[in-house]
Chain A
């Protein structure tokens, strides 16, 4: 019995994925806390006097500051005992996490095939253009209209994603450069479109498109919060679909073969260029779904396109995909964590004085990913044991497949 307990303890204290992820989270929370202290000028002065007078003020006040910040975050993200609807925060978390699931999958899928999708921004924007146009220009009954908007978003995103894949497959343009260029082109096109007659809302002075019709809004899923809508269901379906695609289908097998060894895949008769295009088409479609959640989701107040509609999802998707280790279920969990941090960050910003800006969330997110991607670092900090597996101790668990590194090397 005690032998078994010992084994479990050894298991927990070794550098396995779960332990590393949890400790990475702890470390990033600590770093976030340090940042909170550093940003408070009053606390900084107190720390300056720490050796002369009232030495206990600085540590206790700092503790208060940090714990208040994180408690507010917890209240905003998971459970607020004082609120009327105590579970409302967790619904906010789900709402924030939903687009991140799509964005994370949109990066994870090509990553498995050895492609680096940095063009989420442009795929999202063009997806939004298509979805919004269908949303305000077409009249259709409720379920049909929603379906059309979703399809339009997917098509818009897939077009841009597919273009990136095609440019790489056909002309050898590296996907990183063409994605960066397409991102900027899409931003310019968006800025222009929302001022044109066809898109601009005549009732508004600022640069904003017409809002989509009420029949195009994603229907709410019952619950205390009206914001949890159909897109969450779609996100769950997408996770299942991509999981099935990557592990059970022929296409998934080809993509993974391409990702782990392109030369072997080519020799085996897999068309590299065609499958690269497929991977990017799928990725673009997923980013198009992010656009649908932004336009037709109940979260956005205006249901219309603005110049900043992409909201950085293209890049957050990369970190979500990394934290989720490129696996669909991992991506979903990572998205939930990021969603919780985002939802909590908003509440924390409102609840603290002097305000702790929610940018601290960005730092925490980045730090988690760094630590998760560097298990060796966490292992050294906490002096964890190596995982006892034959040969596994020397090979660092890699987030990326071998060829993503190659592909990156090939051009970045």
Chain B
């Protein structure tokens, strides 16, 4: 991206450049995380008296090779991890690392902190507590799929300059149509196709209203969410609730086991024994990445998102490209909605429950790149899964508070570790020729 290399001059704030300020806040955040890990997890009562941590390694619900539990002493391990986090935080404060190393350091910090938390949650002097790692990963995959698909839809649209706050509505409407058509035709996959089309239709609506009728796009997104909520809620109550069997009754997805790979150690049953949509999602992430950065379509998309007038001058059909991209994005989100419904077999009112907004956060968090979106969504899915899996353990933290973990983590990451992000320059700005 040519434009991205032209960095704005660093804003000078009292006491140094913005880069300095960021360095200190990031370093301080990491040191605080380290101290929490050290005193909260490592030296707390839960790990006292030589408690040991037990991690289960075999996913109970699916076939796979049996792997023995992994047991290790809790306190030394957690203290060690905490020390690593503190040391990296101090290093971050002391020297200005190059970008690549900052990224690596941040990843290591997040990993160590998370691992320390997990070790603490499964620590027990009597050895009764047990955290099954593959189960955490499995629920992570399930939770992450709609987020990845929604975020991917956001990325495609926003790279070409159309803001998509309506991901939530696209997920919801896609899910609704999946349930309705899928039940009516008796085929889940026809339902999925209907869901994808419904998402694309919502995308088209967004595109027409944003591009042709120039409605402010953030506003439009919120309103379309409301519209989707109203329409699906209305039809759910008037059709589905009264006649569940003929409108809202699907057989959930069955898993597709990839022979060989599915019996890999720990990871196998989690990654290679999943419904088809999981593989499609991974494929789409790669495809969008390749498409965006290695094809003519991608070059044009990025050009239109950064400087539509310039793209127009060289003959790119700006508006047509935007229509197409927003529709493709809607279709991705529709597939995400289909996943939500196809996983449980029926639609419920407002079943997306804010997932579209999380996907939106993943778009920004992942810096408008497909793999960034995947990473952000995976992080989200992981903390979510961790929160739900550890709620079975006897933790001193109430489960309601534990469920806020993904959001607290993201807030921390956004405020302390990631900081300012730069959107495509023309994102949200309608293009009027002339």
A residues apposed to B, CB below 8 Å: 35, 38-41, 116, 118, 167, 171-174, 176-178, 180-185, 187-189, 191-192, 195, 315, 318-319, 322, 354-357, 359-367, 369-370, 373-374, 376-377, 396, 398-400, 404-406, 408-412
Q: Give Cα A406–Cα B224 distance, bound, in whole angstroms.
A: 20
* Residue in B233, B235, B416 whose CB lies within 8 Å of A171: B416
Could you list 17 examples of A-B contacts with CB < 8 Å? A39-B234, A39-B239, A116-B218, A172-B420, A177-B410, A180-B357, A180-B361, A187-B404, A189-B404, A359-B234, A366-B227, A367-B227, A370-B223, A376-B212, A399-B219, A409-B427, A410-B427
* Known A-B contacts A180-B358, A376-B213; A366 and B364 likewise in contact (beta carbons under 8 Å): no
Task: Give chain B interface residues in 155-188, CB to chain A under 8 Å.
Answer: 158, 163-165
* Known A-B contacts A357-B237, A362-B230, A408-B428; A181 and B216 likewise in contact (beta carbons under 8 Å): no
Cβ–Cβ contact A412 & B158, under 8 A? yes
**Interface stretch of the complex, out of B82-90, B137-145, B266-274, B395-403:** B395-403
- Shortest A366–chain B CB gap in Å is 4
* Known A-B contacts A177-B365, A374-B213, A374-B214; A409 and B408 likewise in contact (beta carbons under 8 Å): no
Q: Give Cα A377–Cα B223 distance, bound, in whole angstroms.
A: 16
Cβ–Cβ contact B411 & A182, under 8 A? yes
Cβ–Cβ contact B415 & A178, under 8 A? yes
Task: Give chain B interface residues in 202-241, CB to chain A under 8 Å.
Answer: 209, 212-220, 222-227, 229-231, 233-235, 237-239
In the complex, chain A residues whose CB is within 8 Å of the CB of B354? 180, 183-184
In the complex, chain B residues whose CB is within 8 Å of the CB of A187? 404
Q: Give Cα A118–Cα B365 distance, bound, in whole angstroms.
A: 17
* Residue in A35, A177, A374 whose CB lies within 8 Å of B215: A374
- Shortest B143–chain A CB gap in Å is 14
In the complex, chain B residues whose CB is within 8 Å of the CB of A176? 360-361, 364
- Shortest A116–chain B CB gap in Å is 6
* Residue in B227, B364, B429 whose CB lies within 8 Å of A177: B364
Cβ–Cβ contact B426 & A409, under 8 A? yes
Cβ–Cβ contact B404 & A185, under 8 A? yes
Cβ–Cβ contact B214 & A376, under 8 A? yes
Cβ–Cβ contact B230 & A365, under 8 A? yes
Cβ–Cβ contact B226 & A408, under 8 A? no
Give the residue name and chain of the B residue nearest to A194 (CB): B400
- Shortest B361–chain A CB gap in Å is 5
Q: Give Cα A365–Cα B227 distance, bound, in whole angstroms.
A: 8
Cβ–Cβ contact A409 & B411, under 8 A? no
- Given A177-B414, A354-B242, A408-B218: 6 more A-B contacts, CB < 8 Å: A39-B235, A180-B361, A184-B406, A355-B238, A363-B231, A408-B428
Q: Give Cα A322–Cα B165 distance, bound, in whole angstroms.
A: 15
* Residue in A39, A174, A318 whose CB lies within 8 Å of B421: A174
- Shortest A274–chain B CB gap in Å is 13
The answer to the question of B91 belonging to the interface, with a C-beta cut-off of 8 Å to chain A, is no
Give the residue name and chain of the B residue nearest to A182 (CB): B411
In the complex, chain A residues whose CB is within 8 Å of the CB of B426? 409
- Shortest A365–chain B CB gap in Å is 7
